[in-house]
Amino acid sequence: MTDDNEYRFDTLAVRAGQVRTPEGEHSEPIFATSSYVFGSAAEAAARFAGDEPGNIYSRFTNPTVRTFEERLAALEGGERCVAFASGMSAILATCLGLLQQGEHIVSSRGIFGSTVMLFNNYLAKLGIATDYVPISDLEAWEAAIRPETRLLFLETPSNPLTELADIAALAEIAHRHGCLLVVDNCFCTPALQRPLDLGADIVVHSATKYIDGQGRAVGGAVVGDREQVGEKVFGFLRTAGPSLSPFNAWIFLKGLETLRLRMEAHSRNALELARWLEGQPAVERVLYPGLPSHPQHELAGRQMRCGGGIVAFELKGGKEAAWRVIDATRMLSITANLGDTRTTITHPATTTHGRLTPEARAEAGISDGLIRVAVGLEDVADIQADLARGMG
């Protein structure tokens, strides 16, 4: 397509970024090549100097990867996208591409565990410190900003408690203090939430989750403007090389084509499951942004198209009751992964949050009776029946 701006989301999802070769293929090819041939010495020189666009070497230029990047950029409404080998390398590249030694990050608490490790163990070694604040406390965000703060970082909804960050309000705070707002949009994808439209500067993704959506490949991406992402984040990729393979780019490209259909189906199943859970006597409370009982239901309605696929609920009987429900399932997959067609079930207190002290867990709101379900695309009646087995 020549000008992607004139098309709507669903059209961009299936067509943006595709450049047909002289073979006339209908589906996008996988360019399994590490390097490219130049027509002349002058052309090679011009490409290397950046005077002429074109492929050089697949660490940083590959047509299949570029098609994925252009399609995701179009769906997020960003100028540029750079793809990575994983969600974690996308976050690392964002930080190393944009930050200097001595600069500072303010992040929401309860972000993905490996992101916390990256910030605390590796960025800290380079003299980049991070402070954590409660995700929905705007005053705490602003109070944590220092003169050297450069990035505000968040995931919304939070995992596993589905607390929301007010993206528009935080973008305003970030910009007033000369900071960039980075949103990890892995849980919603652009099908449900477009942070750049709400004022965020950069979106990061683990494509491993819903963008693939079928549990097959690991990858990541960063979306934003020409300067921050197109030059600075891209510059890190070009030099350091945590590059997405063309084969995985092709899987994600195909995933984007059905992304909205899948995200709406995940959300529909999740809402129905959350409503059913609210009616179960064994259940103390249900946390899902699509439920009117969610404390930020109104904010969810403003910034998300629907509630997403993650539902958390607390059983009255603590850990024993939670483990009984998990162990009684026959169909659900007991795994901490998410964003798959198959429903997964996790006990956060003894897995993803098991290394925290009991006090830190309590402070984070992770009770022993809490279960997280990443709702898949099975028939929701079968998911309910599987969960009901251990609730009797």
Ligand X SMILES: *Cc1c(COP(=O)(O)O)cnc(C)c1O
Question: Which residues are near ligand X by CB under 6 A?
Answer: 86-88, 112, 114-115, 155, 184, 186, 206, 208-209, 218, 220
Number of C-beta neighbours around residue 241 at 10 A: 12
Nearest-approach distance from CB 254 to ligand X, in angstroms: 17
d(CA 326, CA 126): 42
d(CA 100, CA 104): 9
Nearest-approach distance from CB 102 to ligand X, in angstroms: 25
Question: Which CB sits closer to ligand X, 115 or 245?
Answer: 115
Question: Which CB sits closer to ligand X, 47 or 193?
Answer: 193
Q: Provide φ and ψ at 344, rounded to 5°.
A: -120, 150
Question: Which CB sits closer to ligand X, 220 or 246?
Answer: 220
Neighbour-count burial of 6, counting CB atoms closer than 10 A to its CB (0-12 exposed, 13-18 middle, 19+ buried): exposed
Nearest-approach distance from CB 188 to ligand X, in angstroms: 10
d(CA 99, CA 191): 29
Nearest-approach distance from CB 381 to ligand X, in angstroms: 28
Question: Which CB sits closer to ligand X, 83 or 179?
Answer: 83
CA dihedral 93, 94, 98, 102 (to 10 degrees): -80
Give the residue among 71, 130, 133 at the shortest CA–CA distance from 95: 130
b (16+ CB within 10 A) / e for 137-176: ebebbbebbeeebbbbbbbbbbbbbbbbbbbbbbbebbee
Nearest-approach distance from CB 220 to ligand X, in angstroms: 5
Nearest-approach distance from CB 114 to ligand X, in angstroms: 6
Question: Which CB sits closer to ligand X, 290 or 339?
Answer: 339
Placement of tokens 């750079």 in the chain:
82
Question: Which CB sits closer to ligand X, 130 or 208?
Answer: 208
- Contact criterion met (CB below 8 Å) for 315 and 283: yes
Q: Provide φ and ψ at 237, rounded to 5°.
A: -60, -50
Question: Which CB sits closer to ligand X, 85 or 99?
Answer: 85
Nearest-approach distance from CB 302 to ligand X, in angstroms: 21
Q: Measured at CB, which residue is nearest to ligand X?
A: 87
Nearest-approach distance from CB 43 to ligand X, in angstroms: 36
Question: Which CB sits closer to ligand X, 218 or 237?
Answer: 218
d(CA 251, CA 240): 23
Question: Which CB sits closer to ligand X, 187 or 313?
Answer: 187
- Contact criterion met (CB below 8 Å) for 294 and 311: no
d(CA 299, CA 165): 9
Cα 391 to chain center, whole Å?
A: 32
Nearest-approach distance from CB 335 to ligand X, in angstroms: 12
